[in-house]
A = this chain, B = another copy of it.
Amino acid sequence: MNSDTPKAVVLMSGGMDSCVTAAIARRTYQVAALHASYGQRTEKRELESFHKLADHFGAFSRLTVKLDYFAAIGGSSLTDKRLAIHDADLSNKDVPNTYVPFRNAHFLSIATSWAEVLGARKIFIGAVWEDSSGYPDCRPEYYEALNKLIALGTKPETDISVETPLIYQSKREIVKRGVELGAPLHLTWSCYRDSDLACGVCDSCALRLRAFQEAGVDDPIAYATKPEYARI
């Protein structure tokens, strides 16, 4: 990689999906690493993972933003401590209470503004539709509409688009892809609960553990409890 290598902004939450996404982006692009805290319970843990991952991927720039207003807006168990984080029910297909209203649009707006100033033509996000929690802002059509909005809402000479390399993959495939690419999954944090060890039973832990179990790979992070979730 040198200064002629094209640039990409990579959204990195600190979780598994964005880690694998960054590993994919890094093969072709210089990485500008973007992290947004929004008053979620685990923001400190996620930020630690973000910085370790940005170091690992040799990010040429990093931007961390704190969106305090999400706490004022409320409406999600991730940002409103009066709402409980439920244990996982992976058979439930409703939008879960961890949904943060229209959250990804905030992150992607920041990524687009930054990309326009940096001269980056790609934005990577680890959105996963299949096998995901059912968040509406993870579906493929959402990203098609977003790319149209970006084309219309930036300067005429700007050419930025959002890439979602994992969107059609299952979580099991994402684990396998991460292992193949040597992605540093041991540095990631996925749990929705703020404790020393990942809880193993929230939606996010359950999806992650099931993915590792189905992929036949040991999850390198530590859990308070490690139930068996695999369907196969």
Which residues of A are at the interface with B, using a C-beta cutoff of 8 A? 63, 65-66, 68-70, 72-75, 95, 99-106, 109-110, 112-114, 116-117, 136-137, 139, 141-142, 145-146, 148-150, 152-156
Q: State whether B142 touches A156 (Cβ < 8 A).
A: no
Contact of A73 among B72, B75, B114, B148 (CB under 8 A): B114
Contacts of A109 in B (CB 8 A): 102, 105-106, 109
Q: State whether A154 touches B117 (Cβ < 8 A).
A: no
Q: State whether B75 touches A69 (Cβ < 8 A).
A: no
Closest 6 pairs (CB-CB, A-B): A75-B117, A101-B116, A105-B109, A137-B153, A101-B113, A65-B69
Interface of A is mostly: helix
A149 and B63 contact, Cβ closer than 8 Å, known pairs A117-B75, A155-B136: no
Contacts of A150 in B (CB 8 A): 102
Return the chain B residue nearest A36 by Cβ: B69
Contact of A153 among B65, B74, B105 (CB under 8 A): B105
Q: State whether B112 touches A139 (Cβ < 8 A).
A: no
Residue from the set A99, A101, A116 with the largest chain B CB neighbour count within 10 Å:
A101
